Structure 1
């Protein structure tokens, strides 16, 4: 089958690009390996930029149950510091958001194929892209958007993660007292092998998402029970937060090999890489969803303006490089023992530092990206 545009991956980036193109009258087919939206390892933080992008796509997050996030809180050991966020923010589970995005894509005319796994993506002699699915069926198109998220497609892999990060996600129902104390804050907790984020989402549930280095997980016997116990030992504030909490999943969702700090330099002709296939910002910034939406919007605009992918991709990289470098530097600081020890005290003296960092690590729409 010959398509105009094929989008591989039906997460935030893939759906956002599909909707943006379909709204401009383009014929788009989106292929997603999952049959239905599911929970994913994600902090589920929606920054002001993400909210603006979702509104432009026709997504009303308030109607989906999104809850306001007005504060950022940093906790290490028994110390914690808090500051108001310098922009509006909300929180919504990825399952709810992905479901809404898929529905919106269908509503604007995107042909959506769910439960279809892509086996290969190859360039043909006729200068088109050929996609082979798990059942042997083939799709062809002159243009492909690669939006497979944290999962690499064979033949189009990103560099290996040198730090061997492992990410986990668990939903909890906190005790009434701890839910009140957490309030409308996104809380970052620090420990010797990584960091975690905890914040409320819809229906009175709390999302806890963490990333740890492989060696820290190994010291816990490669078991979640040992890992969460060690994290609470390293950060008593987290232990306090989870006291009396009820886990809502049988086991945590996990993912490995996350190349934090990755920024794609180049791409092949007519292959636009978006979302985590374009840039992987450290999780603590809470900007992952914003990056997905931002890269999708920019790539769709470039395609509509007939800007080649080989021009677009390095331009996107250059525009995002300052924010990514700052975010990576801050992430490295969070993994420094001395920084973890003094940071909460410093932030209590100057809570504005959290606001400044939050602003500077946002991914915006630079004028340099205009085709």
Structure 2
């Protein structure tokens, strides 16, 4: 068994595995999914994320993603459009994660797919319990298991009450053309939603709602979506005649938005937290994938230089805490019953405020490797 185990084969885990294997290290990566699978994610790939992937040797443009150059904020019947200060890309995690896993395997990473991690313990060293296989006992563990906690290695962040959903639509030709080049954010009482095009002409639709709003819809996604279209005519227009592409939406809850891991004396030795296990930015800021990839490059670099996981966690917290605080504050402000409409009205007067907000929720330039 490899002395290095990476738990989770998403962006952060697969990128870290690739970097370590390219440096000549023997790496075992444990991935829960046995085949390509969708994941809850807005799937907006910022410029920073694209640069990180190019440094790994991947050409994102060859994967068929949709170019995104503008942001459109919508509240009720009104909308604001602004040009982004960078060019994004809409690309499904199903395509991107599978491409990156294959890239890791080509670099020499040993992939163990279709295995769920049941528990991690640290008594007398690291022990990773997985289903249908003996426990693993690596010297170093990179924890990249996504937004949910792993038993034995919980995060300190407070879980959000918001409920998340994700599905895909094939829009009618006119609405597809109207959405092209844009990421749209829909604000409504009790939550917000995002829509953008991805590869193969499909539209990603994600939303976060308060439990009371979901309960008001009888706890049923179709009823919730119908309700949102009654209060958002632009959303109703966008989905007119659309074909739903997933039989049921993906769902998620109790995500600790705003969480940043800060090292302390009780941290397990030789365990590096990656991606959402290290920092969780508010949804729809468009930089979650860049943070995951930044954490991968940072953790791999620290490990290869012989630096401790605590040193890595301190550096990552320094790099991303500011943008996560700003994203959390922006989400809270736009969601507030009185302040939200006031900010929207101000943005209609100064649309470039949207572009400025987007720039202030990026991985800062000084932190990029």
Pairwise TM-score range, normalised by the shorter structure: over 0.9
**What's the counterpart of residue 132 of structure 2?**
135
Asked if 1 retains the 8 angstrom alpha-carbon contact of 2:71 and 2:182, the reply is yes
**What's the counterpart of residue 345 of structure 2?**
345
**Rounded Cα–Cα distance in structure 2 between residues aligned with 1:302 and 1:294:** 12
Measured on the aligned residues, the alpha-carbon RMSD in Å equals 1.5
* TM-score when normalising by structure 1: 0.95
Structure 2 residue 226 is matched with structure 1 residue 218: no
**What's the counterpart of residue 113 of structure 1?**
112
Structure 1 residue 95: Cα displacement? 0.3
Structure 1 residue 341: Cα displacement? 2.4
CA deviations 1:6-33 (Å, max 9, x no partner) are 0000011100110111111111110011
Asked if 2 retains the 8 angstrom alpha-carbon contact of 1:46 and 1:289, the reply is yes
Structure 2 residue 359 is matched with structure 1 residue 359: yes
Asked if 1 retains the 8 angstrom alpha-carbon contact of 2:159 and 2:257, the reply is no
**Rounded Cα–Cα distance in structure 2 between residues aligned with 1:361 and 1:93:** 21
SS at match of 2:87: coil
CA deviations 1:344-369 (Å, max 9, x no partner) are 432221111111111110013535x9
Structure 1 residue 132: Cα displacement? 1.7
**What's the counterpart of residue 311 of structure 2?**
311
> 1:1-371 maps to which residues of 2 (within 5 A)?
1=1, 3-125=2-124, 128-159=125-156, 161-266=158-263, 267-364=267-364, 366-367=366-367
SS at match of 1:164: coil
Structure 1 residue 162: Cα displacement? 4.7
Asked if 2 retains the 8 angstrom alpha-carbon contact of 1:195 and 1:284, the reply is no
**Rounded Cα–Cα distance in structure 2 between residues aligned with 1:234 and 1:268:** 49
SS at match of 2:279: coil
**Rounded Cα–Cα distance in structure 2 between residues aligned with 1:359 and 1:234:** 30
**Rounded Cα–Cα distance in structure 1 between residues aligned with 2:224 and 2:155:** 28
- Alignment CA distance shift 1:365-1:108 (3 Å): farther
CA deviations 1:179-206 (Å, max 9, x no partner) are 1111210011111111111000111110
Unaligned runs of 5+ in 1: none
CA deviations 1:10-69 (Å, max 9, x no partner) are 011100110111111111110011101201111000000000001111211221111110
SS at match of 1:261: coil
Unaligned runs of 5+ in 2: none
Structure 1 residue 159: Cα displacement? 4.1
Q: How many positions carry a matched residue from both structures?
A: 366
- Alignment CA distance shift 1:245-1:342 (3 Å): farther
SS at match of 1:209: strand
CA deviations 1:306-352 (Å, max 9, x no partner) are 11012221231122111111000000012112233234432221111
Structure 1 residue 207: Cα displacement? 0.5
Structure 1 residue 136: Cα displacement? 4.6
Deviates more, 1:311-320 or 1:204-213: 311-320
* TM-score when normalising by structure 2: 0.95
**Rounded Cα–Cα distance in structure 2 between residues aligned with 1:339 and 1:233:** 23
**Rounded Cα–Cα distance in structure 1 between residues aligned with 2:308 and 2:349:** 49
SS at match of 2:41: coil
Structure 1 residue 291: Cα displacement? 1.1
Asked if 1 retains the 8 angstrom alpha-carbon contact of 2:73 and 2:184, the reply is yes
**Rounded Cα–Cα distance in structure 1 between residues aligned with 2:40 and 2:324:** 20
**Rounded Cα–Cα distance in structure 1 between residues aligned with 2:221 and 2:128:** 37
- Alignment CA distance shift 1:19-1:279 (3 Å): same
